[in-house]
Amino acid sequence: MSVLAPELAQRARDWAADDPDPATRAALEELVGRAEDGDHAAAEELADAFRGPLVFGTAGLRGAMGPGEHRMNLAVVSRAARGIADHLRAELPTAEGADAPLVVIGHDARHGSRAFAERSAAIITAAGCRVRLLDRAGPTPVIAFAVRALGADAGIVVTASHNPAADNGYKVYLGGRLTDPAGRGVQIVPPADEQIAARIGEVGPVRDIPVADSGWSTMGDALREQYLAAITALPRPDSPREVRIVHTAMHGVGTELAIAALHRCGFTDVHPVAKQADPDPDFPTVAFPNPEEPGAIDLALEQARVVEADVVIANDPDADRCAVAVHDPHQDCWRMLTGDELGVLLGAHLIRRHGRHGVFASSIVSSRWLGEVARGTGQRSARTLTGFKWIARAPGIVFGYEEAIGYCLLPEVVRDKDGLSTALVVAEMAALAKAEGTSLVGLLDDLAREHGLFVTGQLAIRVEDLSRIDAMMRRLRERPPQELGGTAVTAMQDLAQGSVARTGLPPTEGVLLETRDDARVIVRPSGTEPKLKCYLEVREQVEPGAGEADLRVHRERAQDRLERLREEMEAVLALPS
């Protein structure tokens, strides 16, 4: 007996008839058949696959692979490619003699990525654009680089970054004639995302989309060499090179260029994690291919202990992010540096060792530590909305980072986060610290003595029903806490109301709380997952000459304060099930 609504069954059949991929077409037809035979699980899967189109926004597209309008598949990608081409043709000059839009396309090594990239090239070529397609899977920063280096009007990367193996995605950059110089090679922001989404919505049946058999060109070794030449100029030639590194690409596409870049710069004592070095779309050794996730770098840490490494460098699967682990002498164990700790280390290093002058930018949910270092050394700092699409647009930026292990060290080369250039500077910092008889943890201690100790953490509340997030935010606005961590809340700011004067930011969904003892909490919905996230930070004033015993007291007190904040915010936001 069928458990499938007739309307949904018809929508699924119509989709299958228009699906250019035999595999997803067959999978959809099988689901329909099972649901009509009474399979409730199949019916639920179909309902989710057709609960609305996969939304194109500032993150492009990202979702689970599979058949249907709410999945990543060849049909959805075909419409996206045609919509992007139509946007480019509408926005750029069409006068005689004007160059057709130039689009560069790359992809990672996930299931379907090459097919999605090739289909995009064929459709965008047929729409009258010039297309250059990367010859094989490669890191996302290479395409961000290509947009600027080649003067492309747009860049597309087929990637789901650090999402689970079942997902894929579609990231879009604008450049060339479509944006101002500061926005070239940066991920899209409004209104471009809305304009492209509208064009995608106007695309008719997939079967009617013209698809070229040829006409695009490929990019390969020459582009990779250009990129390597640009980033390997970053470490100073006179800095030490004696450092032992363990590197993991997390089953992604970062190994080749990461090792090549490190070796070219003289960092030759590098030990890749063999089981995670080659691209593998199934990510067999990790439950979640994100270096920040518990257990994700366990193999790298095990290897670090065996080879007695100085530092572990981990790239996420598309190599646009970088995580670092070190042996912490205070705890006598290996630990991951937080994204904020690495961010302040990188910023301070660029100021003091590279003489960087300009704006040091970070997102509003990142630590205030970098701003303190910048101001204390005569530099400017900037706070932006969350996401690199905003960080990279900070006027005068010379370095930018977000707490989610994303770092931009060469904004004129790659105006986005780049895990490979980050790896080079991490190696340089670690080698210099080793030569000076200290470590990255020791450098953090020095920054604490000079600018105060900042410790950050998070609380994430996952929900099944998205309305619960709205309810929690409403409750927080209506009944904000009067006290947190045993001290008064001195400021509560509704970020959705905007406060250019106070934060320099336009309206964004979130609430900011500040306490008398200089703790800060920002509560906002996740932009990519069904979560409400609390970003927590405490600050401890440290005497400039503080010894190890004093620092230990400050660290322990900061951790206690952070844990208390976490527990109290969980209680503040708690809602009945």
User: Any idea what DSSP says for residue 494?
Assistant: E
Contact 432, 239 (CB under 8 A): yes
Looking up tokens 């492309």 gives: 152
| Set 78, 113, 161, 439: catalytic member | 161
User: 154 has which bridge partners?
Assistant: 103, 174
Separation of alpha carbons 456 and 554, rounded Å: 14
Other Cβ atoms closer than 10 A to 89: 16
Closest-CA residue to 374 (of 359, 387, 392): 359
Rg (the chain; Cα; Å): 24
Strand pairing partners for 65? 72
| Beta strand 167-174 pairing with 154-158 | antiparallel
- In terms of Cβ atoms closer than 10 Å to its own Cβ (0-12, 13-18, 19+), residue 471 is middle
Three-class DSSP labels, 368-392 = CHHHHHHHHCCCEEEEECCCHHHHC
Let me know the angle formed at the C-alpha of 254 by 251 and 258, rounded to the nearest 5 degrees: 135
Q: Check if the beta carbon of residue 124 is closer than 8 Å to that of residue 85.
A: yes
Cα dist. 40→64, 71, 413, 445 in Å? 20, 20, 52, 57
Nearest to 49 by CA among 19, 28, 26, 77: 28
Nearest to 113 by CA among 54, 163, 147, 49: 163
DSSP per-residue codes, 3-41: -S-HHHHHHHHHHHHH-S-HHHHHHHHHHHHHHHTT-HH
The yes-or-no answer on residue 161 being catalytic is yes
Tell me the catalytic residues: 161
